[in-house]
Amino acid sequence: MTPPPGLVVRPATWDDQVLALVREAFGAEGDQVAALWRQVGTSDLLRASLVAERDGELVGHVGLSRAWLDARRRLVDVWLLSPLAVRPAHQGRGVGAALLEAAVATARRARTPWLVLEGDPGYYGRHGFEPAAAHGIAPATDRTPAPACQVVRLEAAEDWMSGRVVYPDVWWRHDAAGLRDPQLAQVEQALGLAPTTSTTHQQEESTP
């Protein structure tokens, strides 16, 4: 896919004001998501941080960090895609799609076996992601509905590399895995699922 005219995706630097962009993209949840990314993005969990610019303006960001699969044989290092943030005025204009394509390409070059996320299956399914359950992969928490746990299988993956996703401690300290009621119940209803203890906190083009 060729990025939309005028859009450039490149590695981020801390001077890019990524945290301000994340706050704007996530609205009421912006401070929480920015605080999480500040900790992840300045730690050894960071794998990549990409930004999208349009005509010199920073319009989007995607973060890639470390996670694991709790496979029967051993823990497997994988990459976690979160957050995906696009400024509200630029959503629906191909920015999120370009960032996702660049994220997958970056993970592929790094030889990680899986790229995982929590998010809207309708949106991410249009951009090459598949239901994790189809590959024997379960979300990190039962508060994430199975359809919302999405993955890209990359060339380094082997068939035995399946199991539950394991998030680093920082995600739990920020209560950033899955959703809680009442948002949980709303997401389950939207997905046509029976009420359980699972949900997701990600939305199209601005997802923690």
- How high is the pLDDT of residue 198? 37
Query: Residue 74 is which amino acid?
Result: R
- How high is the pLDDT of residue 208? 60
- How high is the pLDDT of residue 200? 37
φ, ψ dihedrals at 137, nearest 5°: -110, 130
Query: Residue 129 is which amino acid?
Result: F
Beta strands in the chain (DSSP E): 7-11, 46-54, 57-70, 75-86, 114-118, 130-131, 137-138, 149-153, 163-166, 206-207
Higher pLDDT, 204 or 3: 3
Out of 3.40.630.30, 1.10.1060.10, 3.40.50.1000, 2.60.40.2550, the CATH code matching 7-207 is: 3.40.630.30
How confident is the model over 5-23, as a mean pLDDT?
Answer: 94
- How high is the pLDDT of residue 15? 87
CA–CA separation, 200 and 141 (whole Å)? 10
| pLDDT at 175 exceeding the cut of 50 | yes
Beta strands in 16-74 (DSSP E): 46-54, 57-70
Map out the domains of the chain as residue ranges: 7-207
pTM of the model: 0.89
